[in-house]
Each structure stands twice: as structure tokens, then as C-alpha cells.
Amino acid sequence: MNEIARFAISLLPVAAFLSLTGCNRQAAAPAEPPLAGATLGGPFALTDQDGKTVKDSDFAGKYRLIYFGYTFCPDVCPVSMQRLMQGYRLFEKANPEAAAKLQPLFVTVDPERDTPAALKQFVGNFHPKLIGLTGTPEQIAAVAKGYAVYYRKAGEPGAKDYLMDHSDVTYLMGPDGAPIALVPQDGTPQAIETVLAQWVK
Ligand code: NI
């Protein structure tokens, strides 16, 4: 997998904001969220790990932590989810009230294999609040496009055990669905918690 490179490519449109995501808590908080005004997100209707329809509007009034990946991913996705949910747990411990306003979401880029049952097993490994989302290939293509997420089947055409190339990127979205910041899923749980604590109030 070449997910780091894909990640970099997928972020070219928002690269200008990247330098702001490393701010530490002592630095003056930027007046505006790093992703303010970025064209990211939008409405979706997908299916969760219990087979229930879930819409973006179901999270109105809640912050959302959203990551795109696939459950068969041999390396990057499980590690990213583990770090993200460790960071989220730190945030829950430090500020349970704010953490309760944040909904973590895992959206598959492999709807062909990621059935609700496959997602259920996967998300259960990381956090009880984590929601896994799948849909038709068209629904997934639409939501990925909205979030500027790249994905593509890799390997032999028609092979059953294919891999997916995909962006390794996490967005923090606001209670109104507008983008706030990138969350460093490749950083430490503490770095993840710092970003959450900075913006989720
Ligand atoms: Ni992956």
C-alpha cells in the first residue's frame, strides 16, 4: 500500500492548512479553524454496522471525527483507528462532557466486502461509540468525493484478495457539519487528543 503518498496527494487542495495542525496548547489558538471555508463534507445517507440507515443530519449538533478506510486493510487502517480511538479515550478521560459531543465515524472505501457484519466486527475492536458506515458503490463514491478522499482497488483485476489504495486522513467536523481541522491519525494519541481538546468544546 502506498497510503502515505496517497494521503499527501489527496491533501494538496488543503495543504495550505497543514502547517496549522501542529500548534501546541501553549500557542495562541488560531482565530479560525484551520479548515474553515474548505469545501469538504456534505450530506450522505449510508448504512451502519447494524444495517440501519444513517444520515449526516443524524449528527446535527455533534462534532464528528471521520476516517475513511477498509476493514481488510492489513496495516494502515487498523493502526490509524487504534491511535484515533486511543486519543479519543484520553479526551474522554480529560473532558467527558466535551467528548460526549463528538461522534467517531469509520467510512469504508471497500463497500464490496465491507458489509455491515464485517464493519461490526471491525469497529468493535476500537471503541463502543465508533460507528462503521458502508453503502452502495455509488453512495461511497459520493461521500468520498465530498471529503476529497482518494481510493482505488489495487492488484490483479478480479482478484478476491485485493487491496485498496486510499487516503489516510481524518477530519474533525463541527456540529453544523462544517470542516474544522485535520486530526493526526499518524501521530501519538496525545497529539490527537490535543487537536480534539482545542476544538471540541
Ligand atoms: Ni488502509
* Cα-to-centroid distance, 98 and ligand 1 (Å): 29
Q: Looking at the predicted structure, is the pLDDT value of residue 26 above 70?
A: no
71 CA to centre of ligand 1 in angstroms: 8
Residue 12 dihedral angles phi and psi, to the nearest 5°: -50, -45
Task: Give the distance (Å) from ligand 1 centre to CA of residue 139.
Answer: 19
Give this prediction's pTM: 0.85
Ligand 1 center from residue 131 Cα (angstroms): 17
76 CA from centroid of ligand 1 (Å): 5
How far is it, in rounded angstroms, from Cα 53 to Cα 65?
A: 19
31 pLDDT higher than 90: no
What pLDDT digit, counting tens, does each position of 73-128 carry?
Answer: 999 999 999 999 999 999 999 999 999 999 999 999 999 999 999 999 999 999 99
CA of 26 to the centre of ligand 1 (A): 33
- Residue type, position 119, single letter: L
Options 3.40.30.10, 3.40.50.1390, 3.40.50.720, 3.60.15.10; CATH for 36-199 is: 3.40.30.10
Confidence bin at 19 (pLDDT 50/70/90): very low
Listing DSSP states for 12-62 in one string gives GGGHHHHGGGG--TTSPPPSS-TTTT-------EEEETTS-EEEGGGGTTS
The residues near 107 (Cβ < 8 Å, ≥ 6 apart) are 46, 66, 67, 68, 69, 132, 133, 134, 140, 143, 144
For residue range 146-200, list pLDDT tens digits in order: 999 999 999 777 787 899 999 999 999 999 999 999 999 999 999 999 999 999 9
CB 184 within 8 A of CB 171: no
The span from the CA of 60 to the CA of 76, in Å, is: 30
* Contact partners, residue 150, CB within 8 Å, separation at least 6: 6, 9, 10, 144, 165, 166, 167
Residue 179 alpha carbon to ligand 1 centre in Å: 22
Domain spans, the chain: 36-199
Sign, CA torsion 184/187/189/194: negative
Encoded amino acid at 190, one letter:
Q
